Amino acid sequence: MFKKLLRKKTNSKVTTINESVDLVKEDKIPSHIAIIMDGNGRWAKKRALPRIAGHHEGMKTVRKITRCACDLGVKVLTLYAFSTENWKRPKSEVEFLMRLPEQFLNSFLPELMERNIRIEMIGVMETLPSHTQKALKYAMNATKDNTGLVLNFAMNYGGRAEIVMAIQQLMKQVEEGELAIDDIDEACVNQYVMTSHLPEPDLLIRTSGEVRLSNFMLWQLAYTELWFTDIHWPDFDEQCLVEAISVYQTRNRRYGGLKGEETN
């Protein structure tokens, strides 16, 4: 399907990722792409490796996809790195996952600076281990003046918890007489979600064959285009990202209306 779509645009076969990137850039690029990075453990199991080997390989994929998104002109890339439910995993695995941000950011920071990429995070920072917090805060501070791609990690994040926190903030305003209940609308909630300063995702990608949101950005994904693949995250590469965007470019985003269709 991917090659078919690209051939429709060019009538020629794509042979390199650079050609693919150039072709897909001829059409509208999603401003904000969100990815549920699933399948590290299954990738490792298939190879008779420990789960942590899958997570380590998945970290390499983050670098590849970040570079490609930057080259494509994506404005925001949000990666679901660790959910509030992931604390239920074995202690040794959680401890390994909490070390990954430090490894990734320390080694990748020079390139992030060179590429003008800014690091951000959504989720609850305060309950992460101190070494994880330190690595994230250092990278966020070092890149805060960068004006290119926003690489936004969802760490210790849950969509329902985010909505609850937004409601609590609104209730506080109501209690203090700053806001009337009848004045609460979607715009009020938008002010208090963790991505209030970012555009809502245009495209959600989930790898590894699961077809669900898993408590990820439940408020923000209301009108997001969804794309699912059976490919495990460590095997997800630049061509996969270009394929997802190419499919996105064929979608007719109506937002509940009749855009692009007959209205009678």
Decide if 232 contacts 207 (C-beta within 8 A). yes
Decide if 82 contacts 55 (C-beta within 8 A). no
Of these residues, 11, 27, 40, 86, which one is catalytic? 86
Of these residues, 38, 40, 156, 202, which one is catalytic? 38
Annotated catalytic residue 202: no
Annotated catalytic residue 86: yes
Active-site residue list: 38, 86
